[in-house]
Amino acid sequence: MARRIVTANNAEGRSYFVSDEEIDNPYLWESSAADPLGVDSGGAEPDGARTYFLPSTAHSIDPSPGGTKCVRFAMDPWVVIQQNQYPGLDPDGFHRTASIDYIMILSGEVDLLLDEGRTTVRAGDLVVQRNTNHAWHNMTDQPTEFWGVMVSVPTQ
C-alpha cells in the first residue's frame, strides 16, 4: 500500500486535490503523449473531472521542453525559507511548472498547499503534482528530505 496524492487544475484555473488515497498497485501513475498529465493506473482521472493545463510561473525551475529533471532536496523549515526570496516563487512559496512531477518524501514531513486545500505529506507518501499552483511549507524545526522527478509537458 502507498499513499498517493494527486493534484489538478479546475475549469477556473485553481489547483485542488483530485485524490488522496491508499493504493495497492505497483503502477502508481501513468502518462502518455496523448495525456501528458496522466491518469491513474486504471486509465481514468481519479475524480472523473477534466484536468486543465496552465502556463508556468517558474520557468527557472521547469525542465527543458521534452526533458526531465531528477532532484534530491532537503527542504529547510518554513521560517528559514521565508527569509529568502527564490526565483519563480511568490512570497508564500507558490509556483507552477509546465511539468508533471513525482515527489516522494524520504524523511520528515511537509505541508502541500494548493489554491483549494492543504495536506501534510509524510515519509513514504507520493505526490503526483500535475502543473498546479502549489507551495511547500515545512512547519517542523528539521529539514524534510524528498526526491522528485519533473517531466516536461507540452503546452496545450
The Cα–Cα gap between 123 and 144 comes to 9
What CATH number is attached to the domain comprising 114? 2.60.120.10
| pTM to 2 decimal places | 0.91
pLDDT at 41: 58
Q: Which residue range forms the structural domain that includes residue 46?
A: 2-152
Band of residue 142 on the pLDDT scale cut at 50, 70, 90:
very high
pLDDT (0 to 100) of residue 136: 95
Domain count, the chain: 1
Tens digit of each residue's pLDDT (9 = 90 or more) over 110-139: 999 999 999 999 999 999 999 999 999 999
Residue with the three cell numbers 502508481: 28
CA distances from 132 to 9, 14, 50, 61, 156 (A): 6, 8, 14, 14, 15
- The pLDDT of residue 68 is above 60: yes
